[in-house]
Each structure stands twice: as structure tokens, then as C-alpha cells.
Chains A and B, each alone.
Chain A
Amino acid sequence: MAEAWLDLMQILASTLRLSAPLIFCAMAGLFSERAGVVDIGLEGKLLMGAFAAAAAASATGSPWLGLFAAIAAGMALALVHAFACVTHRGDQIVSGVAINILASGLTVVLGIAMFSQGGQTPPLSRPERFGDITLPFTETFADIPYFGPFYAELLSGQNLLVYLAILAVPITGFVLFSTTFGLRLRAVGEAPEAVDSAGYSVAWLRYRAVLIAGLLCGIGGAYLSIAHGGGFVREMSAGRGYIALAALIFGKWKPVPTLFACLLFGVLESTASRLSGVDLPVIGEIPVEVILVAPYVLTVILLAGFFGRAIPPRALSIPYVKER
């Protein structure tokens, strides 16, 4: 029993670690889409953030500078998105596609130019990364049944950005649902004309929402390359931005349900790697791919309205044109 409990704690811990980048990106998407700007470009910003973090950490030796570089990179791409979609009222989906393609090209081109390692950054050493933090009393609690492993495996021993990811959810919830800024931001995604007639700038609100999304994606990218991983590799975001988008829809554009969707998709990813090659009773061997595509299948089923209904913010993807 204790054995199984330890196992469970380890699975949950790995779920948490795999969910962290999804949580950052999904919260990013939450800000942007609640303000009425579709964000297909989560993937690109995540990838760019990952590259910037690893490149800066490798060049300066400091994970903190890496984190800042990632945030700057994420926000720079977000600025492009806002400039196209808000200022010039361009198609938000086209802009997102452009950002994703741009990021997957730029990261490799700049990576080769800077490090000549085929698009990778050099492997990062321990002090260049955000290491695992062992919380106090881990030793003391170690002998307590159930709580000990829970504390040691799940609560303690994660890196800083995992804790930040968990924190990002209540912060997002607070900002969006308990502040005037959040109220206006949500209003701009539902009825921009009302916000406009109340005398607030629709464009400036949307700019801020998109930039916050860039910031969060940047942190998610830093998590991938300098916290969870030890360096940048080509296409290391591997579709996580899209899974986060799926989680956002799955969570119906609400912070806590979105968090659970991220955790669900994280569980799927961690079981996929655990189940690869394992012969299960009755079902036999499940191909890893089947588990890996589950988030996408589930999202399509949800979108089809077969369980629940995902209703997006009313003004989502519609550029705001002030009436004259």
C-alpha cells in the first residue's frame, strides 16, 4: 500500500511538472482571449521564450537573466500580435499562424548563428538552471506514513517555476475577476462597444491583455528550457501551446477549470510515457500515440457539444471598429 502511495505521488509529481508549461500558456491564452483576441500564437511565444531563456542563461550564466530574456521574447512576439490585430485590425488567426512559423524559424536560425550546434543551445549546467527546491522539514516528515511521501515527492523538490505555475492560476483568477482592470478586460472581450462608450480605450486594454499573455508564455518557455530541461532543442515546445489552447477551451475560458484541464492533459502525457511498451491486462499494449492525441480528441468532442458546451467570449476574434 505504501508502495502504491509512493507511486501515486510520483505520478502526480510528474503530472505537475508536465502540466506547468501548459498552465502558463493556458493562463496566457485566458488573458488574451477573455479580452477578445484569439491566441493561436501561444506555441510560437512558448518556443521563442524557451530559446531566449536558454540562450541568455548560457551566455550570462544566470537563470534569472534567462527568465527575463524569455519574458522579453514572449512579449516582443505578443507586441507583434497586438500591433497586427489591435492596431491594424488584422486577422487574429493569420497573425498567430505567422508568429508560430516565425518562431520556429527564428529560434533555429539564431541558435545556429549564436552557438553553431545545429540549432541547440549548449547543455546548461546546474547553476545556469532553476534547480529543484527542497522545502524545509522534508527529513522530519519522511517517516510519517502517507504524508511523508506526499510532502517529499509532491510538495517539495519542484523547481521554482512549478510553484509559480500553480500560483499563476489564483493570480489570474484574482486579476480577471476581482479587479477593475479584470472587469474591463473581460468586458472588452464581451462587449467592446460598452467599454468604449464608458470612456476606456479598447485598444489599450487589448494591448495589455496580449502583452500579459506574452509574459506568461515567456515564463512557460523558460520553464521548458532552463528549469524542466537543461537547454534548448529545436521545436522543443512540441505542440504544448496548442494543447494549452485546447485546455483553455476545455476549461471554458475559466481559470480553475482550465487548470484542471491542464492537469488532465498532463496526466495523459505522464501516463503515456509510463505505459509505453507495457502490456496491460485485457487491452494489451496501448500505442503511446493514442494517449498522446487524447487531448485533441477530447477537445474536438467537447467542441462538438457532446458534453457541456464551450461558449467563447462574445467578441472573440472580432477586431473592434469604433463607429464614426
Chain B
Amino acid sequence: MTTPLPRWADLLVIPLLNLLLAFLVAGLVVALIGENPWRALTVMLQGAFVYPGSLGYTLYYATNFIFTGLAVAVAFQARLFNIGGEGQAAIGGLGVALVCLALDPYLPVVLVIPLAILAAAIFGAGWAFLPGLLQATRGSHVVITTIMFNFIAAGLLVALLTGALMRPGQSTPQTRNLDALLPKVHEILRAVGIDAAPSPLNVSIVIALLACVGVWLLVWRTPFGFRVRTLGESEPAARYAGVAVPRTVIVVMCISGALAGLMAINEVIGAQGKLVLNYTAGYGFTGIAVALMGRSHPVGIVLASLLFGALYQGGTELSFEFDTIDREMVLVIQGLIILFSGALAFMLERPLARLLTPRARLAHG
């Protein structure tokens, strides 16, 4: 995707303008409902950052979005659209749960946790492998197949969680409590003498940040990453340059799926301590918004994840504070952000380029 804009405008001005537009339209919706948009925004910001423990919650949500955002972004680099983050995360959760259920009575926690993390990545990658394979060898569009795989994953989890994996003696669709849990950040802080309000934030965030570094190294600092980006720029060019296109597509999809699958550790052995039905709660789709806002770059993704973490946490506060506004307001904002920064990406680009580029250069260039 080439842009006529200077780099700073592309990376800073455009995302901010898109964000502003999304908030403006969302504000209109709030006003339409008959509430004060400004007050709603203040409540959200306070709910996301100020109240005790709220920052922890914001960062906990952000952890999910870093994983799913990276997943979408890695695929984007090869110009593949992986909408299947939701399903890959769900299957990743299944992997985590299976490892913990099978091993935690026998092995020490320190051994189970790395295996569970590995399982999250492998199961997620496995769920993306087939769509990748079908895209690479049969030309079946990865968008459609990953959508279908989301539903198949959901059905599979319903069947397992109401059947074989259901906690014995219970009728809620969830597994028993797992023993191998990741340490919570507030517990670590308390252990070293810093008082912190409890929140579900756990060490997954460190793994998420490591994944960011890993993706950056892989995509921008390895020959493989170069091939991926070449493929993303132009498939004929990549093929001409000797890139094994089918294999690259499959590997990229697997990496993407593995990243989405890793989201499971933050939820299943991080926050909740068990696999519950629909635990992915749309976070896989939020990854699309995060990747678009973050311009498919790890730094951008961390920033966009913080934004969405704040939105989700602040959105919960909205439903406490107002009778008429629900946390679904966050979905509205999210949809608008995808619309403005994704589908309408070119709307601002051209006028802005005309504004920023001196006429003379355009005429000669």
C-alpha cells in the first residue's frame, strides 16, 4: 500500500484524525440517546485510568488485543486477511485447557505453564493451518475459510464444554478450575512491598510484549520477513524473485494463528483460571481494529491495544454510571474505528496529501 503522504502524517495524523472521527460519531450517538457525550468520555477515561485497579484492568484487556492485533498484522504483511483470530484464540484456549487438565495433577506448575503456553500457540497455529493450506494450494479465499473456521471452533467448544470437558457435577459450560496459573501482577508487586489494587493483569503482558519484539525481528530483520513483505507488496514480484509463495502463505497463517492462540494464556490461565464458553468475547475481531489503527506495526499495535484496553475498561464503567448507556457503546466505537481507519482509509489520505504537499512538487513529480 503506497501512500502519497509524508511518513509522520501517515503514522500520526491519519490515525489520530480517524480516532477523532470515530469519537465524534460515537458522541453523536450518545447525544442522540440524550446523554452528555463529554460526561460519557470523562467517565470512560476515569474508569480506564483513575479508579483503583482500573489501570490493571486496562492493561489486562490490552494484553488480549496485543496478541490478536499482532495476529492480524502479521497476516496483513503478506496481504492476507485473517478474520479467524476469534476461532484460533478459542482453539488456543482449548489447547491450554487440555494441557492443564491432563498434566496439572502430576507435574509441578513450573513445568505445566510453559507446556500450556506452547499448546496455546500450537493449537492456534493448527487452526490457521488449514485455511492457509487451502489458500495456498486451492486458492480458497482465506477470509471466507477463516470465518467458517470461527463458527466451527465455536461449535466444537460448545460440544466439548457441555460434554467431555465440563466440570464434573456441574451444569455450567466450563472446565474445572485449573491449577497452573500465571502469577498476577498485583501479587508480584505486593510481594516486593508495593501496594497495588487487585486486577486480572498477569505476566501474560510480558509475553505479549516479547511477542511484539519477536514479530518486529521476524518481519523486519529476517530473510523470511523480507519474503513475507515482498509477497505483501506484489505476489508476481515475489514469485519472480523466487519466493516459495504457497509455503510462505501457510507459514504466515500459522504464525498469525499462533499469536491469536496465545491470547488464551491471558484469559484461561491468567484471568479466569478455567476455560469458559465464549471466553474470546469478540477480542479476535478487536484485533482487526487494533492492527488497522496500529498500521500493522508492533509499536502501533501496543499503542492501539492500550487505546482499546482503555475503551473496554472505560466502557464497563459507562454501564455503571449511566442507566441508558451500555458497554456495547464500545462496540460502536470499535466499528467506527474500523470503518474510518480501514474501509475509509483513503478518504482522508488524498485531501491531506494535497494539503501537505506543495503544489510545485506535485506538478513536477
Contact = CB atoms under 8 A, between A and B. Distances in A.
Please indicate which of the listed interface residues B145, B326, B329, B330 has the most CB atoms of chain A within 10 Å of its own CB: B326
Q: Main secondary structure on chain A at its contact with chain B?
A: helix
Nearest to A89: B346
A10 interface: no
B29 interface: yes
A178 B349 CA distance: 41
Contact of B292 (A92, A94, A242): A94
Interface stretch (A16-24, A65-73, A287-295): A287-295
Interface string A29-71: 0000000000010000000000000000000000000000000
Contact of A97 (B29, B138, B151, B288): B288
A311 to B, nearest CB: 10
A105 B140 contact: no
B336 A97 contact: no
A281 B288 CA distance: 46
A105 B25 CA distance: 13
A106 B344 CA distance: 19
Interface residues on A, range: 35 or more
A90 B326 contact: no
Contacts of A40: 143, 147
Shortest beta-carbon contacts, A-B, top 6 = A105-B331, A102-B335, A95-B343, A293-B155, A94-B342, A303-B140
Interface string B316-351: 000000011110111111111011001111110000
A102 B134 CA distance: 30
Nearest to A292: B155
Contacts, number: 154
Interface in B5-63: 29, 32-34
Interface of B: 29, 32-34, 81, 83, 130, 134, 138-141, 143-145, 147-149, 151-152, 154-156, 158-159, 163, 282, 285, 288-289, 292, 323-326, 328-336, 338-339, 342-347
A93 B143 contact: yes
A105 B148 CA distance: 22
A188 B339 CA distance: 24
Contact of A101 (B81, B141, B335): B335
B342 to A, nearest CB: 4
A239 B342 CA distance: 23
Contact of A296 (B152, B282, B344): B152
A278 interface: no
A239 B147 CA distance: 10
Interface string A2-32: 0000000000000000000000000000000
A89 B345 CA distance: 9
A305 B144 contact: no
A293 B323 contact: no
A105 B24 CA distance: 16
A192 interface: no
Given A242-B151, A293-B151, A80 B339 contact: yes
A112 interface: yes
B14 to A, nearest CB: 14
B148 A88 contact: no
Contacts of B335: 98-103, 105-106
A112 B324 contact: yes
Contacts of B151: 239, 242, 293, 296
A265 to B, nearest CB: 12
B156 A289 contact: yes
A216 interface: no
Nearest to A239: B151
B141 A303 contact: yes
Given A91-B343, A245-B144, A297 B152 contact: yes
A55 B94 CA distance: 39
A289 B158 contact: yes
Given A299-B144, A303-B138, 12 more contacts: A83-B344, A90-B347, A91-B342, A94-B81, A95-B339, A99-B339, A101-B285, A101-B334, A103-B335, A108-B328, A293-B152, A305-B140
